[in-house]
Amino acid sequence: MELSGDMAREIADPKGWITASSGQGGECLEAKHLSDGRVALRDTEQPDTDPWILRPAVWEKFVAGAKNGIFDF
């Protein structure tokens, strides 16, 4: 996915990234709510790779599934 100039700058800005951590160190995810309503999601150990850009509805379904334990092992 080619990131537009504005979106690339928004993603590159370190402000606004929220880190989900297990407290075990490393292996964390970061999410950032973008100005157009989408959510960027990336691996904290690979912050320079392009993040996944999720539509709001997809993000909401993911969060709901996580809260309901659908991703639990």
pLDDT value of residue 2: 59
Q: Total structural domains in the chain?
A: 1
- Name residues whose C-beta falls within 8 Å of residue 54's C-beta, 6 or more positions apart in sequence: 38, 39, 40, 41, 62
pLDDT value of residue 22: 66
State the average pLDDT for the chain.
88
In Å, what is the CA distance from 18 to each residue of 1, 5, 30, 32, 42?
Answer: 22, 22, 5, 6, 10
In a domain, 42, yes or no: yes
Sheet-wide strand order for 29-33 = 18-20, 29-33, 39-43, 52-54
In a domain, 72, yes or no: no
Q: pLDDT, tens digit, for every residue of 35-46? A: 999 999 999 888
pLDDT value of residue 20: 82
Domain boundaries, position 20: 5-67
pLDDT value of residue 51: 94
pLDDT value of residue 48: 83
Residue ranges in the chain whose pLDDT is less than 50: none
In a domain, 24, yes or no: yes
